């Protein structure tokens, strides 16, 4: 089971930017694309752990600031020829607030 956690206002995430939120599973980068879609990935590149939140958002992907791997928001997977995957989390927008799905067991452990 999952539980939705309200993490930030949509307006607090710049377009083509991100905001990092602390969640039970670690720091999560919440990205807002140029077309106002929102995605959430663990803020850790699948290559060597670079902070994806500090990367460049383009289309529905982010380029890691350390060695330029590109990570797809829809899957968390690195774009070929690189390979690897970072965890991604379900996101919903309710009344201009961003909610992220967290496993119930993790949410309870954080309380
Ligand atoms: S740590 Fe992200 S590309 Fe190397």
CA of 66 to the centre of ligand 1 (A): 5
- Residue among 46, 47, 66, 41 nearest 56 (CA): 66
Q: What pTM was estimated for this model as a whole? A: 0.94
Token pair of 50, please?
Answer: 């670079």
Q: What is the pLDDT of residues 14-47, one digit of tens each?
A: 999 999 999 989 999 999 999 999 999 999 999 9
Domains annotated on the chain, with CATH: 2-109 (2.102.10.10)
pLDDT reported for residue 105:
75
Q: 59 C-alpha to center of ligand 1: Å?
A: 19
Closest atom of ligand 1 relative to the 48 alpha carbon: 1
pLDDT of 52-81, one tens digit each? 999 999 999 999 999 999 999 999 999 999
Residue found by looking up tokens 């663990």 in the block? 42
CA of 6 to the centre of ligand 1 (A): 29
């Amino acid at each position: 089971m999952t539980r939705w956690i309200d993490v930030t206002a949509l307006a607090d995430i710049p377009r083509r930017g991100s905001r990092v939120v602390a969640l039970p599973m670690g720091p999560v980068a919440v990205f807002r694309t140029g077309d106002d879609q929102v995605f959430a990935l663990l803020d850790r590149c699948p290559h060597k752990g670079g902070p994806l939140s500090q990367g460049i958002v383009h289309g529905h992907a982010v380029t890691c600031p350390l060695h330029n791997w590109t990570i797809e928001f829809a899957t968390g997977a690195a774009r070929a020829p690189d390979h690897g995957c970072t965890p991604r989390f379900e996101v919903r927008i309710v009344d201009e607030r961003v909610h992220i799905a967290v496993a119930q067991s993790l949410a309870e452990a954080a309380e």
